[in-house]
């Protein structure tokens, strides 16, 4: 069954233009399409119940691209899904996320310093705050491209795209910090809290 591109009711955000969003939605749809294309092509190889030796090079190349396309699809859904026009600012001090940040980093403020710091790292990729579902602990990670650095089994709870396409229509390449400030002005903390494990308050 093919994946369908989701739609996100995002416009009039602070510091991230509608033009950027429209362009970005199209890029995201490309990842959905390419994920489906790869899956279909791989199914073609498997149709006769085996992978022949002469098929291996092409079969391998398609498989190597799966992580890029799948994560490109899923991470964009997380990114768009953790923004809203009426969001923004910092996490509510009574929220599950705030409590987890305090437990994992000593304070929410230190968590934020780290998350913003990761987002400003040189390179093309993502800053992602994951939650370890087994301990409830959260940790920030740099992900290169879409697939290098994700932690297996951890849940992405806050995701920011720091590829240049995410902000180049609105900011200079050197102004990634301004873009990350704008991102914070639009965070949907309710959506972030929904991603947290429900019993996080008792663990970690
Ligand atoms: Fe992107």
- Judged against a pLDDT cut of 60, whether residue 201 lies above it is answered with no
Q: Are 85 and 187 in contact (CB under 8 A)?
A: no
State in Å: Cα 124 to ligand 1 middle. 10
> Has residue 100 got a pLDDT over 80?
yes
For ligand 1, the distance from its centroid to the CA atom of residue 166, given in whole angstroms, is 6
How far away, in angstroms, is 188 Cα from ligand 1 center? Answer: 18
Q: Which two tokens stand for residue 143?
A: 């992900």
Q: From ligand 1's centre to the CA of 76, what distance in Å?
A: 6
Q: How far is the CA of 113 from the centre of ligand 1 (A)?
A: 23
Q: Around ion ligand 1, which residues have CB less than 5 A away?
A: 161, 163
- What pTM was computed for the model? 0.95
pLDDT-derived band at 28 (thresholds 50, 70, 90) equals very high
Per-residue pLDDT of 133-188, as tens digits, reads: 999 999 999 999 999 999 999 999 999 999 999 999 999 999 999 999 999 999 99
* Average pLDDT of the chain, as a whole number: 95
Distance 67 CA to ligand 1 centre (A): 15
Asked whether the CA dihedral 161, 122, 90, 71 is positive or negative, the reply is positive
Question: What pLDDT, on a 0 to 100 scale, did the predictor assign at position 199?
Answer: 64
Maximum C-alpha span of the chain: 59
């Amino acid at each position: 069954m093919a994946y369908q591109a989701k739609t996100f009711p995002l416009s009039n955000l602070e510091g991230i233009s509608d033009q950027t969003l429209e362009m970005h939605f199209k890029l995201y749809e490309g990842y959905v399409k390419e994920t489906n294309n790869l899956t279909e092509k791989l199914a073609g190889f498997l149709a006769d119940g085996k992978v022949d030796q002469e098929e291996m090079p092409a079969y391998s190349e398609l498989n190597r691209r799966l992580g890029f396309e799948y994560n490109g699809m899923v991470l964009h859904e997380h990114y768009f899904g953790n923004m809203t026009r009426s969001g923004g600012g910092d996490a509510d001090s009574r929220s599950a996320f705030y409590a987890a940040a305090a437990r994992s980093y000593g304070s929410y403020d230190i968590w934020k310093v780290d998350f913003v710091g990761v987002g400003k790292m040189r390179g093309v990729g993502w800053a992602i705050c994951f939650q370890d579902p087994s301990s409830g602990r959260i940790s920030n990670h740099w992900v290169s491209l879409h697939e290098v650095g994700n932690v297996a089994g951890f849940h992405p709870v806050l995701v920011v795209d720091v590829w240049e396409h995410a902000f180049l229509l609105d900011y200079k390449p050197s102004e990634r910090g301004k873009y990350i400030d704008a991102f914070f002005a639009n965070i949907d903390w309710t959506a972030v809290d929904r991603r947290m494990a429900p019993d996080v308050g008792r663990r970690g």
